[in-house]
């Protein structure tokens, strides 16, 4: 990847995107479209179809028909594997195009987008393609006059609702295991990051996925997302996004067919720095990256920095220095460390949180403002707020922006108490040279993933899921497969 290639792709006009239903490009039933605004400069990039309830119903009917006639689920595992591996290859072959399209749509810095988006998505699809013929049923240890067998069957139609921060990576976390297990899927990308995901769906068809097995409908969550949630014909709903939407999806399920709902929600993850951390300079750099990359729009972002009082000032200065070295700007420039905030709405929300933090006694040590407004884009300086009380708003509510709240602590017990004092439980970290303390922290902090002497970067072999109001069920690893299968018992008298 070099800058010239990126600029050539940036210069290309983006043709309008439609839904993909039954393997075909389909406009909204009433012809309506939504403008796609690029957060890089606020310009209109293209349009997407503004889906209607009947578009969603049509997509679900297509998925149901493809499942019932077994055009995908009924294929031998080796045949399904071949298609998925080809899809992964196509994603890799088109990686730069996908990444640049996604960045123009959602503002993530290109370096991170290349790695976390097509790179990760191809790896995930390949992982589940390789796994699909290694998932066996079971024979139960019954008495000898019966045979108890446990079959693992696809659930049927999976509805997948995806957020805007990492559409390809998170999309692949759902699509990989769902398709590998033989399900048919209806996908709903986020309004402000549909393009690269829709392109990835096109590539699935190029790879030979039968028509109707993967349908994708764009548009507003409150319209097409709700229609998916309320459908009587979707068997499982998988979602990544905000807690508010997650709560609605559970209501939709209760009001319709009681479909299983798996939620990956937000976090307020604690990054805990003990004075005995092995390398404080490294910890400071990683802490800055752990909150400021992708403008803090990372579900596992280490948004609460808990620092042992004896090193507080020195450590926070080192984080501020690391943040100052991260260039904010045009996300398509290779030397940019922090790209654009996804939308103006999100940027204004971030600034609102900064104001509340100040009103509640926090001190702005760095950032706190919108920058580069003259570009027309949505940029925010990496922001560090010190003296943040554990019960204050920015300690308790997810900002989902480049805003780090710093709180000091005196003892390990106090650090644990503060770390566990939110409704969330997605990720966390502890930095220490003390092996026993490291293990104590893994046990004590209520999260889905706990890092020791690092932050982020856990690969596809391990699950990512939240506890508390960070969600239920996991993406990634073989454990994710459980969401996409039903267990069926065969009880046979011999």
User: What is the binding site for ligand NAD (CB under 6 A)?
Assistant: 161-165, 170, 188, 190-191, 221-222, 225-226, 229, 240-242, 245, 248, 264-267, 299, 398, 400, 426, 464, 466, 471
Alpha helices in 397-492 (DSSP H): 412-419, 435-444
Kindly name the residue from 299, 308, 398, 412 that is annotated as catalytic. 299
Q: Which is nearer to ligand NAD, 299 or 380 (CB)?
A: 299
Q: Which is nearer to ligand NAD, 357 or 426 (CB)?
A: 426
CA distances from 134 to 77, 86, 467, 478 (A): 10, 19, 29, 10
CA distance linking residue 26 with residue 49, whole number of Å:
8
Tell me the three state secondary structure of residue 44. strand
Annotation marks residue 299 as catalytic: yes
Kindly name the residue from 109, 264, 308, 412 that is annotated as catalytic. 264
Q: Which is nearer to ligand NAD, 103 or 299 (CB)?
A: 299
**Residues 6+ positions from 184 with CB-CB distance below 8 Å:** 63, 64, 66, 67, 72, 73, 156, 157, 158, 212, 213, 214, 215
How far from the centroid of its chain's Cα atoms is residue 151's Cα? 30
Q: Which is nearer to ligand NAD, 120 or 386 (CB)?
A: 120
Q: How far is the CB of 456 from ligand NAD (least distance, A)?
A: 12
Residue 102 near residue 111 (C-beta atoms within 8 A) = no
Instruction: Give the torsion sign (CA, 25, 29, 30, 32).
Output: negative
Q: Which is nearer to ligand NAD, 242 or 256 (CB)?
A: 242
CA distance linking residue 287 with residue 301, whole number of Å:
9
DSSP line for 309-356? GGGHHHHHHHHHHHHHTS-BS-TTSTT-SB---S-HHHHHHHHHHHHH
Q: How far is the CB of 246 from ligand NAD (least distance, A)?
A: 7
**Residues 6+ positions from 110 with CB-CB distance below 8 Å:** 1, 6, 99, 100, 103, 331, 332, 333, 334, 336, 339
Annotation marks residue 363 as catalytic: no
Q: Which is nearer to ligand NAD, 190 or 384 (CB)?
A: 190
Q: What angle do CA 425, 261, 225 make, to 5 degrees?
A: 105
Strand-pair partners of 338: 328
Tell me the three state secondary structure of residue 98. helix
Closest by alpha carbon to 127, among 78, 82, 177?
A: 177
Written as six digits, the tokens of 232 are 């009587």
Q: How far is the CB of 400 from ligand NAD (least distance, A)?
A: 5
Q: How far is the CB of 224 from ligand NAD (least distance, A)?
A: 8
**Residues 6+ positions from 352 with CB-CB distance below 8 Å:** none
How far from the centroid of its chain's Cα atoms is residue 1's Cα? 24
Q: How far is the CB of 459 from ligand NAD (least distance, A)?
A: 15
Q: How far is the CB of 173 from ligand NAD (least distance, A)?
A: 8
Q: Which is nearer to ligand NAD, 135 or 478 (CB)?
A: 478
Residue 412 near residue 440 (C-beta atoms within 8 A) = yes
Q: Which is nearer to ligand NAD, 308 or 475 (CB)?
A: 475
Q: Which is nearer to ligand NAD, 111 or 159 (CB)?
A: 159
How many other C-beta atoms can be found within 10 angstroms of the C-beta atom of residue 135?
15
Residue 255 phi, psi (nearest 5): -85, -10
Q: How far is the CB of 13 from ligand NAD (least distance, A)?
A: 25
CA distance linking residue 183 with residue 178, whole number of Å:
6
Q: How far is the CB of 216 from ligand NAD (least distance, A)?
A: 11
Q: Which is nearer to ligand NAD, 213 or 299 (CB)?
A: 299
Closest by alpha carbon to 178, among 466, 463, 486, 488?
A: 486
CA distances from 338 to 235, 295, 335, 361 (A): 39, 6, 9, 27
Q: How far is the CB of 360 from ligand NAD (least distance, A)?
A: 21
Q: How far is the CB of 2 from ligand NAD (least distance, A)?
A: 30
* Residues taking part in catalysis: 264, 299
């Amino acid at each position: 990847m070099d800058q010239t290639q990126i600029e050539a792709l940036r210069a290309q006009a983006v043709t309008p995107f439609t839904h993909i239903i039954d393997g075909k490009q389909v406009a909204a039933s009433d012809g309506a479209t939504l403008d796609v605004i690029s957060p890089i400069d606020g310009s209109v990039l293209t349009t997407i179809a503004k889906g209607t309830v009947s578009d969603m119903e049509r997509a679900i009917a297509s998925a149901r028909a493809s499942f019932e006639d077994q055009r995908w689920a009924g294929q031998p595992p080796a045949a399904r594997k071949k298609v998925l591996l080809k899809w992964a290859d196509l994603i890799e072959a088109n990686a730069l195009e996908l990444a640049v399209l996604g960045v123009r749509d959602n503002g993530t810095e290109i370096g991170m987008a290349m790695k976390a988006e097509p790179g990760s998505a191809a790896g995930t699809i390949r992982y589940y393609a390789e796994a699909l013929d290694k998932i066996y049923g079971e024979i139960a240890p019954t008495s000898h006059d019966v045979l108890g067998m446990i079959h693992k069957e696809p659930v049927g139609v999976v509805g997948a609702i995806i957020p805007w921060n990492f559409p390809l990576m998170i999309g692949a976390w759902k699509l990989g295991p769902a398709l590998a297990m033989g399900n048919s899927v209806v996908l709903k990308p986020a309004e402000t990051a549909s393009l690269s995901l829709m392109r990835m769906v096109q590539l699935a068809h190029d790879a030979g996925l039968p028509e109707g097995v993967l349908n994708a409908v764009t548009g507003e969550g409150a319209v097409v997302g709700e229609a998916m949630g309320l459908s009587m014909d979707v068997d499982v709903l998988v979602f990544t996004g905000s807690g508010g939407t997650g709560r609605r999806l559970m209501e939709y399920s209760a009001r319709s067919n009681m479909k299983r709902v798996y939620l990956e929600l937000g976090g307020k993850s604690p990054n805990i720095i003990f004075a005995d951390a092995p390398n404080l300079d490294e910890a400071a750099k990683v802490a800055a990256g752990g909150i400021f990359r992708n403008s803090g729009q990372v579900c596992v972002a280490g948004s609460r920095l808990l620092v042992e009082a004896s090193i507080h000032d020195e450590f926070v200065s080192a984080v501020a220095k690391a943040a100052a070295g991260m260039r904010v700007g045009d996300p398509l420039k290779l030397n940019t460390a922090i790209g654009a905030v996804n939308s103006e709405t999100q940027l204004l929300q971030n600034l609102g949180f900064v104001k509340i933090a100040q009103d509640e006694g926090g001190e702005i040590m760095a950032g706190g403002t919108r920058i580069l407004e003259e570009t027309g884009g949505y940029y925010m300086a990496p922001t560090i707020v010190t003296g943040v009380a554990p019960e204050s708003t920015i300690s308790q509510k997810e900002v989902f922006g480049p805003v780090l709240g710093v709180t000091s602590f005196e003892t390990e017990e106090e650090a644990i108490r503060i770390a566990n004092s939110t409704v969330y439980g997605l990720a966390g970290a502890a930095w220490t040279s003390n092996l026993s303390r490291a293990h104590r922290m893994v046990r004590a902090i209520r999260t889905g993933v706990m890092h020791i002497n690092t932050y982020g970067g856990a690969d596809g072999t391990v699950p990512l899921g939240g506890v508390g109001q960070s969600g239920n069920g996991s993406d990634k690893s073989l454990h994710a497969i459980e969401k996409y299968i039903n267990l069926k018992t065969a009880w046979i008298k011999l």
